[in-house]
Amino acid sequence: MAKGFAGGVWLNLDEKIDANLSVRSMPSPARLSYPLPRKGGKTASPLVKEGDRVLLGQPLCADGGAAFCPVHASVSGSVARIAERDIPYIGARTVVEVENDHRSAPFVQKPRARDYYAIPGRELLETVKNAGIESEGNRPLPLWLKLEEFACEKIKLLLIDAVEDEPYISRSSAVSARYPHDVAFGLYCLLKICGAAEAVLAAAKGSGAGPEKVTAAAGRIGYPLRICRARAKYPASDESLLPRELGLNGAGVLYPGDCYNVCRAVKETCPQISKIITVAGECVEKPQNVEVKLGTPVKDILDFCGLSQKPARVVLGGLMRGESVADLSVPIFKRTTAVLALPAVGKPCAAACINCGRCIEACPERLTPNFLARAAIKADFAACRALGAENCIGCGCCSYICPGRVPVAALIRTVQKEFEESPPK
């Protein structure tokens, strides 16, 4: 099988933020807010009322089945307000605001330790489902749904994606370097759940010692774990491209963060209430990986890490796919991978496509972004469909490479949103 995906771009990865790959834990802030999920026509309704006392790990909304995961309170305290709010970049949501009492009174008492290795797969899946773990990666899916899919398709190989191909971001390496035993144990559970025989840990060439630590921990548990090195060419870490990059087609892709969350859920009966994110950017004084409670406002996180200069743009997520926010009261939620505070970039020059075809070379999905952008500007959705706009993985390589500074990826994304809203008859 041919190795390596076609296209992609080499990004400057020199901005490695922390050679030790430590993870600092951030104290919970005074007030947290939880936007309740909404997908398709399905909206989560709150299970608590204003003024109610909530406990750490208490579900705030009902399970949305295959559509979305339940949200749990990440601190104990009282519900200060429940209101409809327009959250930048995810749209209008019901937001539950919780006043922290800093007692961390748990909703479920920690059960007595037992032989975790003896827990059967069905029970583990149930635990994952109740913990509301959302899989990392670009598609926000409940982890249990992904695992059931893997089990149905009789996936033989699990691929743990610790490839870091974007500047600043080092969270996957940090998780594997800091919590190798937890990741190895989580992976052991995941293998059991989907009945896969083998696991491979994918890391970028020349990345730190995190992967070796995890394989050592896996060896101690007693299952084999191989390391595969991928090129650090963006977007090698993409769910659909990584198997192609490593020549391991048909593998199910999961993330070190997933393994870590599963470990916490199994060993501590703790739902997903925190997230390890990268806080970086040229305006951040101490760039680092931080474990933050879900619901923490971005402002508090930037406070915690300190700013060295006034940022012009704050991005949630990586530079290539993250969304910029204008309002720093936006909370961290399950999908957030990073907070980047960036200085002003030069004013963009006027965009003009000169038809150079660099975007075609860079597109890992072998699309023709120049023609797609042209059709998108004309709002010719039929043409966009014919050119395969639905297959776009949104990596943004076309916009990155474009010498004419055409916002190609943004145009294609707009077309995809249009498709989602009005599916073809």
Site residues (vs other proteins, CB under 8 A): 9, 11, 88, 167, 285, 299, 302-304, 306-315, 317, 319-328, 340, 342, 344-345, 348-350, 352-358, 360, 368, 370-371, 386-387, 396, 399-405, 407, 409-410, 413
Q: Least distance (Å) from other proteins to the CB of residue 300?
A: 9
* Other beta carbons within 10 Å of 146: 23
For residue 394, the one-letter residue type is G
Q: Which is nearer to other proteins, 50 or 327 (CB)?
A: 327
Record the tokens describing residue 410, joined without a space. 């943004």
Residues 126/209, Cβ–Cβ less than 8 Å: no
Q: Which is nearer to other proteins, 66 or 386 (CB)?
A: 386
User: Which is it for the CA torsion 369, 373, 374, 376, positive or negative?
Assistant: positive
Q: Which is nearer to other proteins, 62 or 312 (CB)?
A: 312
Q: Least distance (Å) from other proteins to the CB of residue 74?
A: 21
Q: Which is nearer to other proteins, 269 or 368 (CB)?
A: 368
Q: Least distance (Å) from other proteins to the CB of residue 3?
A: 21
Q: Least distance (Å) from other proteins to the CB of residue 293?
A: 18
The packing angle between helices 121-130 and 143-152, to 10°, is 150
Q: Least distance (Å) from other proteins to the CB of residue 75?
A: 19
Residue whose tokens read 């390496």: 173
Q: Least distance (Å) from other proteins to the CB of residue 331?
A: 15
Q: Which is nearer to other proteins, 128 or 402 (CB)?
A: 402
Record the tokens describing residue 36, joined without a space. 């309740």
Q: How many residues does the chain have?
A: 425
Q: Least distance (Å) from other proteins to the CB of residue 207?
A: 20
Q: What are phi and psi for residue 59, nearest 5 degrees?
A: -65, 135
Upper half-sphere CA count for residue 363 (Cβ side, 13 Å): 23
Sheet holding 313-316, edge to edge: 23-25, 288-293, 274-280, 338-342, 313-316, 323-325
Q: Least distance (Å) from other proteins to the CB of residue 353?
A: 5
Region at 186 (left for phi over 0; alpha for psi -120 to 50; beta for the rest):
alpha
Give the DSSP per-residue string, 161-227.
EE---SSS--HHHHHHHH-HHHHHHHHHHHHHHHT-SEEEEEEETT--SHHHHHHHHHHHHT--EEE
Q: Which is nearer to other proteins, 159 or 284 (CB)?
A: 284
Q: What are phi and psi for residue 158, nearest 5 degrees?
A: -100, 135
Q: Which is nearer to other proteins, 221 or 352 (CB)?
A: 352
Q: Which is nearer to other proteins, 78 or 324 (CB)?
A: 324
Q: CA 341 to CA 280: how far, in whole Å?
A: 6
Q: Least distance (Å) from other proteins to the CB of residue 270?
A: 29
Q: Which is nearer to other proteins, 56 or 412 (CB)?
A: 412
Question: Quick one: 425 exposed, middle or buried, by C-beta within 10 A (0-12, 13-18, 19+)?
Answer: exposed
